[in-house]
């Protein structure tokens, strides 16, 4: 049988992306339970899960808006329509994240959003670890969407 021609653009449907986010959330919960006795490792696992959620949300934003949020718009553009140009054409009710506010990293510091990323990628979301400063090792080590 001849394969069907693909007239539509290749990409993920919203349902597929939501399923991925759900799976990541469930896996993050399972890992969190297993690491409850090791708080540093649990925080690192939670930060990595959140970075993956940011990456998925940013990709969904790009599919809807045709581009990633600018650095000036930042991660808040995922939870409410930005007032900074370029304004989103259509914004889903409830935004692109489950929460009404951008979450802090597991150490209570804000995530950093860069456009472009430090390694030439279209964007990068970073947690600077416990100390909230770039660089460091152990609990102070940086975690990034570039490392996932």
For the ranges 7-11, 19-23, 75-79, 129-133, the lowest mean pLDDT is seen at 7-11
Query: To which residue do tokens 């949300």 refer?
Result: 57
* CB contact at 8 A, 148 and 123: no
Provide the pLDDT for residue 32.
57
Query: Distance between CA 146 and CA 104 in Å, rounded?
Result: 19
Average pLDDT score, the chain: 86
CATH topology (fold) of 15-147: Glycoprotein, Type 4 Pilin (3.30.700)
Q: Treating both helix axes as pointing N-terminal to C-terminal, what angle do 14-34 and 39-65 enclose, rounded to 10 degrees? A: 170
Domain spans, the chain: 15-147
Per-residue pLDDT tens for 29-43? 666 555 455 677 889
Query: To which residue do tokens 């653009």 refer?
Result: 9
């Amino acid at each position: 049988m001849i394969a069907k021609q693909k007239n539509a653009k290749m990409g993920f449907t919203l349902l597929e992306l939501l399923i991925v986010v759900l799976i990541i959330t469930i896996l993050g919960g399972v890992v969190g339970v297993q690491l409850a006795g090791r708080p540093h490792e649990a925080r690192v696992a939670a930060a990595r899960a959140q970075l993956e959620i940011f990456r998925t949300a940013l990709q969904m934003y790009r599919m809807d808006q045709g581009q990633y949020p600018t650095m000036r718009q930042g991660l808040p553009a995922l939870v409410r329509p930005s007032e900074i140009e370029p304004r989103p054409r259509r914004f889903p009710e409830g935004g692109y994240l489950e929460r009404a506010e951008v979450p802090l990293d597991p150490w209570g510091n804000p995530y950093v959003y860069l456009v472009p990323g430090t390694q030439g990628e279209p964007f990068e979301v970073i947690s600077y670890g416990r100390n909230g400063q770039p660089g460091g090792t152990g609990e102070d080590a940086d975690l990034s969407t570039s490392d996932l």
